[in-house]
């Protein structure tokens, strides 16, 4: 048996030790975390729906009707009317024939790759893809190839080198640690040329990008027919929990037959599906929430420019401040916390070595006064 104590000590010495903070109360910009009042700039609750009164009311009503738990997997007797209605609403909203719910985004990504490809096939991934896409590719048993970030031409070359087997290309829609948007039109073209599946994981685009909040495809004006597999999570902009994969009738039926993370797990509570349907309705009927988020992104980036704080060219709610060195990044994050501002330090292996960063995320619920405080604090430290 290896010495776990020693391994943990080594991690601490390398400033790579991870620990949790305990929050009291709902997700919102002002929170009590570890007993201290802080303004948070690290949540994925981009539109403030995690604590929205209509979403909470739908959740409570769902519990009254369906009880707390689903009781079983979807293929046993855990698939409720609530799940079914949400799947139909998601299919209609995204413009795909069908959508299938998964209990988490991580599981959706593992299940998809394993259901579609295996030995003799190839999975191609952007170098900066989310860990769940990488793990999905590895678990599938297919050969894994990674292409440089957003480099459609290199993908073209790599696809051309694979002459046999199925080819599955996986990409984040909005890159989770960088905030930039995948070049979906170029990727879709190349995938069509090589007869490869393209899957876009839109965890950070769904609900926020595009005039109607339909996400990265709407942002680019790409037709659903050009992206055969669309995945998004429900625990970020939608403020609840879970995920879905949208695609053709045949794709969804294949996942129901074969995706192990769909088959061998308990369905999420039906009330979560009811709450998510309420979130989706808010996304459809309140475009001003996206407007407020956009305004906050613009306000933050222009304040940083005036103060001389260097940002990347991200146009989304994810605004990284790249620091590079792990130890300095952790120290800066601690200094911010001393000033009552919570921004998490993101370190390797979550991001490549030498690119440790503060990952700032903005929400429609932040006020300009919150953002002023953040920019002032960053300006003092920079």
Ligand X SMILES: *Cc1c(COP(=O)(O)O)cnc(C)c1O
Is 130 or 366 the residue whose CB approaches ligand X more closely?
130
The mark string for 232-271 relative to ligand X (x by CB under 6 A, - otherwise) is -x-x-------x----------------------------
Residue with Cβ nearer ligand X (105 or 239): 105
d(CA 142, CA 245): 20
- Residue from 87, 121, 172, 180 in contact with ligand X (CB under 6 A): 172
Residues 32-61 that bind ligand X (CB under 6 A): none
Binding mask 102-141 for ligand X (x = CB under 6 A): --xxx--x--------------------x-x---------
State the DSSP string of 333-381: HHHHHHTTEE-EEE-TTTS-TT-EEEEEE--TT--HHHHHHHHHHHHHH
Q: Which of 50, 113, 203, 351 binds ligand X (CB under 6 A)?
A: 203
In the complex, the smallest distance separating the C-beta of residue 204 from ligand X, rounded to whole angstroms, is 6
Q: Which region among 64-72, 98-106, 327-335, 363-371 touches ligand X (by CB under 6 A)? A: 98-106
Does residue 40 come out as left (phi exceeding 0), alpha (psi in the -120 to 50 range) or beta? beta
- Residues that bind ligand X (rule: CB under 6 A) add up to a total of 14
List b or e across 75-89, with b for residues whose CB sees 16 or more CB atoms inside 10 angstroms: eeebbbebbeebbeb
Report the side by side order of strands in the sheet with 341-342. 23-24, 30-33, 36-40, 341-342
Active-site residue, from 204, 219, 366, 370: 204
Q: What is the DSSP letter of 72?
A: S
Neighbours of 18 (CB within 10 A): 8
- For ligand X, the closer of residues 240 and 296 by Cβ is 240
User: Three-state SS for 155?
Assistant: helix
In this chain, which residue has its C-beta nearest to ligand X?
105
Q: Please, which residue, 132 or 296, has the CB nearer to ligand X? A: 132
Single out the catalytic residue among 43, 80, 103, 176.
Answer: 176
Residue 263 region, left (φ>0) first, then alpha (ψ -120 to 50), else beta? alpha
3-class DSSP state of 319: strand
Active-site residue flag, 176:
yes
The verdict on 201 binding ligand X (CB under 6 A) reads yes
To the query of whether residue 167 is one of the catalytic residues in this protein, the response is: no
Check: CB of residue 216 under 8 Å from CB of residue 182: yes
Contact 363, 296 (CB under 8 A): yes
Residue 204 among the catalytic residues:
yes
Phi and psi at 23, nearest 5°, equal -105, 150
Q: Find where tokens 């979807």 sit.
A: 74
d(CA 88, CA 91): 5
Residue 39 DSSP SS3: strand
Is residue 103 within 8 Å of 265, Cβ to Cβ?
A: yes
- Residues annotated catalytic, as ranges: 176, 204, 236
Binding site for ligand X (CB under 6 A): 104-106, 109, 130, 132, 172, 176, 201, 203-204, 233, 235, 243
């Amino acid at each position: 048996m290896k010495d776990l104590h020693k391994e943990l000590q080594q991690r601490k010495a390398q400033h790579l030790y991870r620990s949790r903070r305990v929050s009291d109360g709902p997700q919102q910009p002002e929170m009590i975390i570890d007993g201290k009042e802080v303004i948070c700039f690290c949540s994925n609750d981009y539109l403030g729906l995690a604590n929205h009164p209509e979403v909470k009311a739908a959740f409570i009503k769902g519990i009254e009707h369906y009880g707390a738990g689903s009781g079983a997997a979807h293929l046993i007797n855990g698939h409720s009317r609530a799940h079914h209605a949400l799947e139909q609403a998601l299919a209609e909203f995204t413009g795909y024939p069908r959508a299938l719910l998964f209990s988490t985004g991580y599981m959706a990504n593992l299940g998809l790759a394993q259901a579609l490809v295996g030995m003799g096939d190839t999975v191609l991934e952007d170098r900066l893809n989310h860990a769940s896409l990488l793990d999905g590719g590895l678990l599938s048993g297919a050969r894994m190839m990674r292409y440089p970030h957003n480099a459609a031409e290199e993908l073209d070359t790599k696809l051309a080198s694979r002459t046999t087997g199925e080819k599955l290309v996986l990409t984040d829609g909005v890159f989770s640690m960088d905030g930039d948007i995948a070049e979906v039109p170029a990727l879709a073209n190349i995938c069509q040329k090589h007869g490869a599946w393209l899957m876009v994981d839109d965890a950070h685009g769904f609900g926020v990008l595009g005039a109607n909040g339909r996400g990265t495809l709407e942002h680019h004006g790409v037709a659903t027919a050009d992206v055969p597999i669309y995945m998004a999570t429900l625990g970020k902009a939608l403020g609840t929990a879970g995920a879905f994969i949208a695609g053709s009738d045949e794709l969804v039926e294949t996942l129901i037959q074969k995706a192990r993370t769909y088959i061998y797990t308990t369905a999420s509570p039906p009330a979560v599906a009811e709450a998510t349907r309420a979130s989706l309705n808010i996304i459809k009927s309140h475009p001003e929430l996206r407007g407020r988020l956009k305004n906050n992104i613009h306000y933050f980036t222009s304040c940083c420019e005036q103060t001389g704080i260097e940002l990347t060219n991200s146009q989304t709610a994810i605004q990284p401040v790249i620091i590079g060195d792990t130890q300095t990044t952790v120290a800066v994050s601690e200094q911010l916390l001393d000033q009552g501002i919570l921004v998490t330090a993101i370190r390797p292996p979550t991001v490549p070595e030498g690119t440790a960063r503060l990952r700032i995320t903005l929400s429609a619920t932040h006020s300009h006064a919150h953002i002023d405080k953040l920019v002032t604090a960053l300006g003092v430290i920079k």
